[in-house]
Structure 1
Amino acid sequence: MKSKKERIGLKRVSEEVERALTRLGHAKLVGRSSPPRIQAPGGKNLQLHFKTRMPPHLFTGGKVEGEQGASILVVLLDVDTSSVVQTGPESAAKLNVVVLEGDFNEESDDDWTKEHFESHEVKEREGKRPLLTGDLQVTLKEGIGTLGDLTFTDNSSWIRSRKFRLGVKIAPGYCEDVHIREAKTEAFAVKDHRGELYKKHYPPALHDEVWRLDRIAKDGALHKKLVKAAIVTVEDFLRFLVRDPQKLRNILGSGMSNRMWENTVEHAKTCVLGGKVYVYFTDETHSTGAVFNNIYELRGLIADEQFLPLESLTHNQKISTDSLVKRAYEN
């Protein structure tokens, strides 16, 4: 799969993709239950909302990211329509990023006042550096914003709930005549970075180094064997597993027992693949091709410019696809 690979379909959701979707009329961007209604002056019911889910824990000194390393998106919603507010001064407001106590409003359908929200903001411990450092403001563009580089300097073990949340609120000087409700993320723990050095990831991410998988110790014998075979990331491991599992097993050798092998493979397969797709075409006309996912698993066939999912292929189509897959792997 070299020059004949073509990327099609979805890619990781980015701020630009979100903005494009809203222009196309995909109004309901909220994946969870509708937020509570807040009546603002002028008949507007507006509130901020985090689109990105947070992982169960983060580490001090590391970049604050969402699940699977995703950028953290926040949107301004019209509660009445569940659509993103793309026009007007509110859609270009500046937001302050704050840290909240982990047990703040655990019931997602609860409402709160600005004063209640701010009373649960967490500041640094006495004698410590600011708890959250980096880009502490984000500016909305057409109602959508992406949090910048942020880092926690202290763990969350000293808070009653032992967890934090991120929150965003309208910055002073913006939209002062309209009440826009603040937003909060899920609660997450922040641990000291020392544990990150050798920590396994559950689930692992495609871009994780391969030693993040169970049974593969960082800089250990198995790790070195994999790196020597150019298997550096979890994605590399999964691609090799799909194309030639026996060769991968042989690379690891007798130093990995069958039970260890099963554990490593099982852990690797929990990886979230995302939406990247590759196509291997048989000729320059691009009329027939095999469609693969991130790790080169066959997902379907393109025939006469139509995509046919794997499960819908006829017996004869599957036979022709098998030979196509072999050629793709050889290239």
Structure 2
Amino acid sequence: KLEGVRGAQISVALINSNTGDVVRSGLESSIKLDVVALEGDFNKDDEDNWTQEEFESHVVKQREGKRSLLAGDLVVKLKEGVGEMGELIFTDNSSWNRSKRFRIGLKVATGCCGNTRIREAKTDAFQVKEHRGQAYMKHHPPASDDEVWRLENVAKGGISHQNLSDAGIYKVEDFLLQLFTDPKKLREILGKSIAEKKWDSLIRHAKTCKTKWKLYLDYPDGVTKHGVVFNTDGQPIGLVKDREYFATPRLSAQE
């Protein structure tokens, strides 16, 4: 899926090459643009004087036996010289083409503007990787209800993941609650499965999670060995037993 920086929508503008201003009036300001995939090595010298034929010769089609390389909103409609790109998805990776990269290009739709030459647009070159890699992708920042392996240095199905699961730490929220109630115990749970530098990186990443709760701890024993964890509404959400955090779903009716 193609997105702008930090997931922002990608904007397109028609610029007057003489003044550098957006063309906000006239027939050209409301044209339609076709979205295409380009070879990554198109215009590698970053010059702006390519011809229409050169642009068209670098348009990339799908591999034989594959579906269309681009899917989604393949037309952009300008309004007062400005438009927004909709959802755009690559259906194949870029490892098979000659440059190992793609660009996105935009060109005037067929039948628009008559004989007026409007130079095509292009993005920088980028790699497109297989979608399946997202199944193991880390989240930045992680969400409180993310699986704990979404944290840095916790590999899905790895030893650290298994150690945390055995201790009832399944979500990032569980990880943070154990961290805040007793970080030493959390370090013991992970043990030698994670080195000290990776531990520091893991904690930094976990702390970027924006939680919707605050902790209030009550230790009736007075020695911070056993206690109750409450959320901001005063509802109990877990217990601390022998310095280990237990979320409410893990507790028995008697507890």
- Provide TM-score, normalisation by structure 2: 0.65
CA distances 1:4-42 after superposition (whole Å, capped 9, x unpaired): xxxxxxxxxxxxxxxxxxxxxxxxxxxxxxxxxxxxxxx
- Structure 2 residue corresponding to 1:255, chosen from 189, 196, 199: 189
RMSD value over aligned CA atoms? 3.5
Q: Distance in 2 between matches of 1:125 and 1:212?
A: 33
Aligned to 2:56: 118
1:141-290 alignment runs, 5 A limit: 141-200=79-138, 204=140, 209=146, 211-218=149-156, 220=161, 222=164, 225=169, 227=171, 229=173, 246-247=180-181, 249=183, 252-256=186-190, 258-265=196-203
Percent identity of paired positions between Structure 1 and Structure 2:
48
Aligned to 2:216: none
Aligned to 1:94: 32
Aligned to 1:106: 44
**What is the CA-CA distance between 1:82 and the residue it aligns to?**
2.5
Give the paired residue count.
Answer: 202
For residue 78 of structure 1, give the secondary structure of its aligned residue in structure 2: coil
**What is the CA-CA distance between 1:93 and the residue it aligns to?**
0.8
- Provide TM-score, normalisation by structure 1: 0.52
Comparing 133-142 and 217-226, the one that deviates more: 217-226
Counterpart code for 1:254: E
Whether the 8 Å contact between 2:143 and 2:172 is mirrored in structure 1 is no
Aligned to 2:8: 70
Q: Distance in 2 between matches of 1:126 and 1:146?
A: 31
- Distance change in 2, residues 1:248/1:121 (3 Å): farther
Q: Distance in 1 between matches of 2:83 and 2:182?
A: 43
**What is the CA-CA distance between 1:149 and the residue it aligns to?**
1.7
Whether the 8 Å contact between 2:38 and 2:104 is mirrored in structure 1 is yes
For residue 263 of structure 1, give the secondary structure of its aligned residue in structure 2: helix
- Distance change in 2, residues 1:225/1:251 (3 Å): farther
1:138 aligns with 2:71: no
Counterpart code for 1:227: K
Whether the 8 Å contact between 2:142 and 2:206 is mirrored in structure 1 is no
Higher-Rg member (1/2) = 2
Whether the 8 Å contact between 1:225 and 1:252 is mirrored in structure 2 is no
Q: Distance in 1 between matches of 2:105 and 2:34?
A: 8
Q: Which runs of 5+ in 2 are unaligned?
A: 212-231, 234-255
- Distance change in 2, residues 1:84/1:215 (3 Å): same
CA distances 1:116-149 after superposition (whole Å, capped 9, x unpaired): 0011000011221111112111101222211112
- Distance change in 2, residues 1:110/1:80 (3 Å): closer
CA distances 1:197-223 after superposition (whole Å, capped 9, x unpaired): 11346xx35779574442133473558
Q: Distance in 2 between matches of 1:67 and 1:217?
A: 26
